[in-house]
Amino acid sequence: MIVGRMNEVIYTRCCIAGGGPAGVMLGFLLARMGIDVFVLEKHADFLRDFRGDTIHPSTLEIMHELGILDEFLKRPHQEIRELAGQVGQDSVTIADFTHLPTHCRFLAFMPQWDFLDFITEQARRYSTFHLKMQAGVTDLIEEKGWCGGRARKNAGRATANSRPADYWG
Ligand SMILES: Cc1cc2nc3c(=O)[nH]c(=O)nc-3n(C[C@H](O)[C@H](O)[C@H](O)COP(=O)(O)OP(=O)(O)OC[C@H]3O[C@@H](n4cnc5c(N)ncnc54)[C@H](O)[C@@H]3O)c2cc1C
């Protein structure tokens, strides 16, 4: 099961195309449920285009529910409890997070690549989680009631097939 060798075939329960916030979080959630999952990301790393840095209180609440909030808050970040703007001579409060019914009553600032690095680190605690970088998905394969994806990694090609639960016995 190594992506990169010519025409190598990977069998897994779930194959996710794209290691952005949606892909790595889904991979993490499935892996912690014991579902074997491959996240295929076409880039070599997460450290590229700026894609934001605000982590909202609702996202932080989900991290609390997942039991990873304390670890997350140990990472370098900034906490903003109130946003204000200046209109003429007046200072206007735009957002006040201190009244929210959440554990974190603030907006956390952390670059998205650090957030992705954190989620994948948490996901890797589960042996069912696999992340393949430089694996750009090129095709969707549908065959006999199951579907999979074809990925290209460096010079090689690989096929990741997700098969239904009954296939795994
Ligand atoms: C300038 C900017 C600032 C932003 N600021 C914020 C912010 O402060 N707070 C906030 O919450 N949101 C912010 N956003 C929005 C946030 O970035 C997106 O909501 C989020 O990135 C969407 O996540 P996603 O996983 O759905 O998609 P993406 O982040 O687009 O992830 C998709 C991933 O799939 C990979 N991929 C694509 N095609 C393939 C393929 N064929 N094979 C394999 N991999 C593939 C891509 O390389 C990418 O890593 C901002 C967005 C931008 C552009």
Domain ranges of the chain: 53-110
The model scores a pTM over 0.85: yes
| Rama region for 81: left / alpha / beta (φ>0; ψ in -120 to 50; rest) | alpha
Best residue for ligand 1 mutational test, from 15, 53, 112, 141 (most atoms within 8 Å of Cβ):
112
Q: Which of 3, 129, 110 is nearest to 50 (CA)?
A: 110
Q: Which atom of ligand 1 is nearest to 53's Cα?
A: 8
pLDDT, average across residues 106-125: 97
pLDDT tens digit sequence for 27-64: 999 999 999 999 999 999 998 778 889 999 999 999 99
Nearest CA to ligand 1 atom 12: 52
131 burial via Cβ count (<10 Å: 0-12, 13-18, 19+): buried
User: Which DSSP string do the residues of 84-123 spell out, in sequence order?
Assistant: EEEETTEEEEEEEGGG-SSS--SEEE--HHHHHHHHHHHH
